[in-house]
Amino acid sequence: NDITDNEAFKALLAAKKSAEENNVLVNIAVVDAGANLKAFIRMDESYLGSIDVAIKKAKTARYFNIDTGELGELTQPGGIIYNIELSNNGLVSFPGGLPIKNKEGKIIGAIGVSGGTIEQDRAIATIGAKSILN
Amino acid sequence: NDITDNEAFKALLAAKKSAEENNVLVNIAVVDAGANLKAFIRMDESYLGSIDVAIKKAKTARYFNIDTGELGELTQPGGIIYNIELSNNGLVSFPGGLPIKNKEGKIIGAIGVSGGTIEQDRAIATIGAKSILN
Amino acid sequence: NDITDNEAFKALLAAKKSAEENNVLVNIAVVDAGANLKAFIRMDESYLGSIDVAIKKAKTARYFNIDTGELGELTQPGGIIYNIELSNNGLVSFPGGLPIKNKEGKIIGAIGVSGGTIEQDRAIATIGAKSILN
Amino acid sequence: NDITDNEAFKALLAAKKSAEENNVLVNIAVVDAGANLKAFIRMDESYLGSIDVAIKKAKTARYFNIDTGELGELTQPGGIIYNIELSNNGLVSFPGGLPIKNKEGKIIGAIGVSGGTIEQDRAIATIGAKSILN
């Protein structure tokens, strides 16, 4: 199973609405089950550097089926997978990337949000990921 | 002046609607005045290889403020800018990329479409680019 | 649908057997439906440069659901998609890459072969792609 | 001396069998004495991000003729080769990569495994590396 374009749009719009309500300026990326870019939006005045971070967060979340923030707990100095961020043309290992699951719990893609604090990015990504269940 | 996120969405949706009406499966990318990715959508079952081509078409159109198809007339063997495609981390020099202008005629971004024939891609890009004038 | 690891092995082995019978030394790559590497083998004494060519042939075939040799007919100087090889981190547009279809005709991956003549590479890729139907 | 294609296949299959018996989903890569990709398999449903990690583990193990886990002990902050992971287009410095030796103890290639815990990856890599001695 793979996320559809309409589901990807739905996730983008839900995440963007949440960001606007919280006065956060973010970039939002959605990748499909193959970790390929499916949908993207950059809010006006959001960081230019967050374009790539948002995309890499989404890809990282699907590459390893993980909350990118949880990945980061394992990649610190002394961590069991220290410096794994150097693989796959660059991973992001702090919060803001999440797998997207369908109603059956199967991972069908992932979302990445960048531009706010890491807590804000994660909260917005969560709202985007869950929006497709409605 | 710069394209807004709402205008970018509008362009994506107008282009996607046109593609659907013509039974073409495309990827659609919009970049801003700085040639940075602003919005993107990949239609279900469209070519995976068109993700990058659509983005590069949009960037190319803004890099040189040109219809990418017109650029291609100058880059052939013997052409005045032969092989310029090798610059800028890869340009695309066939139809499907167009600058986006505002009502005053100022270029505020660009759109790239990939997945159909080059004529279809250019027609869909034109509809997307013009949609923000309404 | 996506090619399985056993199907990918089957395609590799069928292609390798054909290469051996014809005294050709090749590299053989199989990618899945998401164009991600699924299986690979390099025959002893085959070209080192063919590792990347075989992988790019397989990816190209899946990126555009096409025989890579047919793609090459469109990318020559004056062709409608001249220089598209510069996209997607490098495409290969000569024979040896083919989509892999299941019994229902759905594309589930692709195979790329490099090391022989382009006719040999295409013939070996064809045998590999068809082997999973048996 | 260099690992043969049949030995590489043997290592892949032994590692894959071990992974299946332990219900671990992994990617397995084998490189030759020149650190060039020789054979590869991705098990169904294994991490997409492990494709590159498995290949980089194998390459790293041959680049420095070392267990990648031992390398990681030297690359931490303050370590004698801190951040060497940034060289060679990206190294992996946690367990799962091992040199492959022939019966005379000569290194003829390397194996990289990614997808399980680092202990599982190392155990599976060990079985793959030793399989060619039988």
Q: What is the pLDDT of residues C9-38, one digit of tens each?
A: 999 999 999 999 999 999 999 999 999 999
Angstrom distance (rounded) from CA A125 to CA D103: 53
Decide: D93 and D85 in contact? Cβ < 8 Å: yes
Separation in Å, CA of C23 to nearest CA in chain A = 36
Q: pTM for this one?
A: 0.97
CA distance B23 to B26: 10
Helix (H, G, I), strand (E, B) or coil at A42: strand
pLDDT at B87 over 90: yes
- Interface contacts B/C by beta carbons within 8 Å: 50
The C-alpha angle with vertex C116 and arms to C113 and C120, in degrees rounded to 5, equals 75
Is the minimum CB–CB distance between C36 and chain D shorter than 8 Å?
A: yes
pLDDT at C125 over 90: yes
What pLDDT is stored for residue C1 in this prediction? 82
Out of A34, A65, A80, closest to residue D94 by CB: A80
Residue B49 touches chain A, beta carbons under 8 Å: no
Q: What percent of chain C has pLDDT over 90?
A: 99
CB atoms inside a 10 Å sphere around CB B25: 16
pLDDT at residue B50, as a whole number:
98
Question: Does residue D1 carry a pLDDT above 90?
Answer: no
Q: How far apart are CA C117 and CA C130, in angstroms?
A: 20
pLDDT (average), residues B75-93 = 95
State the distance between the two ends of chain D, measured CA to CA, in whole angstroms. 18
Average pLDDT over every residue of B45-50:
97
Chain D residues close to C8, C-beta within 8 Å: 41-42
- Structure-token pair, residue B75: 């880059």
A16 pLDDT band (50/70/90 cuts)?
Answer: very high
pLDDT of residue B1: 86
Q: Which residue of chain D has the CA closest to C51?
A: D37
Report residue B23's pLDDT band, with 50, 70 and 90 as the boundaries. Answer: very high
Please answer yes or no on whether C43 and D5 come within 8 Å at the CB atom: yes
Alpha carbons D57 and D110: distance in angstroms, whole number: 9
Contacts of D34 in chain C (CB under 8 A): 48
Whether the per-residue pLDDT at A117 is higher than 90: the answer is yes
Q: Write out pLDDT tens, residues A30-69.
A: 999 999 999 999 999 999 999 999 999 999 999 999 999 9
Neighbours of C94 (CB within 10 A): 19
pLDDT band at D51 (very low <50, low <70, confident <90, very high): very high
Chain D residues within 8 A of C2 when measuring between CB atoms: 44
Query: Is the pLDDT score of B91 beyond 90?
Result: yes
Q: Please judge whether A41 and B43 are an interchain contact, meaning their C-beta atoms are less than 8 angstroms apart.
A: no
Between chains, do C83 and B93 touch, taking CB under 8 Å as contact? yes
Tell me if chain A has a CB within 8 Å of the CB of D65: no
How many H helices and E strands in chain B?
4, 4
Interchain contact, A65 vs D52, CB within 8 Å: no
Q: Residues 105 to 124 of C: which have CB under 8 A from any B CB?
A: none
User: Chain centroid to CA A95: how far?
Assistant: 8
Please report residues of C whose CB lies closer than 8 A to that of D42: 5, 8, 32, 36-39
Instruction: Return the residue of C nearest to A89 by Cα.
Output: C89
Region A6-11 average pLDDT: 98
Q: Does D35 touch chain C (CB under 8 A)?
A: no
Q: Is B17 exposed, middle or buried (0-12, 13-18, 19+ CB in 10 A)?
A: middle
**Phi first, then psi: what are they for A90, rounded to 5°?**
105, 115
Q: Are A80 and D93 in contact (CB under 8 A)?
A: no
Q: What percent of chain A has pLDDT over 70?
A: 100
First-to-final CA distance of chain A: 18
Q: Would you state the pLDDT for residue A134?
A: 85
Rounded to the nearest 10 degrees, the angle between the axes of helix D5-21 and helix D118-131 is 140
Check pLDDT > 90 for residue B129: yes
C-alpha–C-alpha distance, residues D52 and B46, integer Å: 25
What are C125's two structure tokens?
A: 């890729």
Q: Do chains B and D meet with 3 or more Cβ pairs nearer than 8 Å?
A: no
Give Cα D70 to chain centroid, integer Å.
13
Q: Do A42 and B32 touch (CB under 8 A)?
A: yes
With CB atoms and an 8 Å threshold, state whether C80 touches B94: yes
What digits encode the pLDDT tens for the residues A70-88? 999 999 999 999 999 999 9
Name residue A107's beta-bridge partners: A101
Nearest to B58, CA basis, from B26, B99, B1:
B99
End-to-end CA distance of chain C: 18
> What pLDDT sits at residue D113?
98
Which tokens sit at B21?
């009406």
Task: List b or e across B90-99, with b for residues whose CB sees 16 or more CB atoms inside 10 angstroms.
Answer: bbbbbbbbbb
Q: pLDDT digit string (tens) for D56-96?
A: 999 999 999 999 999 999 999 999 999 999 999 999 999 99
Q: Terminal CA-to-CA distance of chain B, rounded, Å?
A: 18
Residues in chain B: 134
Residues in contact with B40: Cβ distance below 8 Å, sequence separation at least 6, in sequence order:
A37, A39, A40, A41, B12, B27, B28, B29, B30, B51, B54, B55
What is the band of C68 on the pLDDT scale with cuts at 50, 70, 90? Answer: very high
Q: What is the pLDDT of residue B61?
A: 98
What per-residue confidence (pLDDT) applies to B51?
A: 98
Q: Is B134 a residue whose pLDDT tops 90?
A: no
Nearest to C91 by CA among C129, C64, C110, C118: C64
Task: Report yes or no: A6 and B39 within 8 Å, Cβ to Cβ.
Answer: no
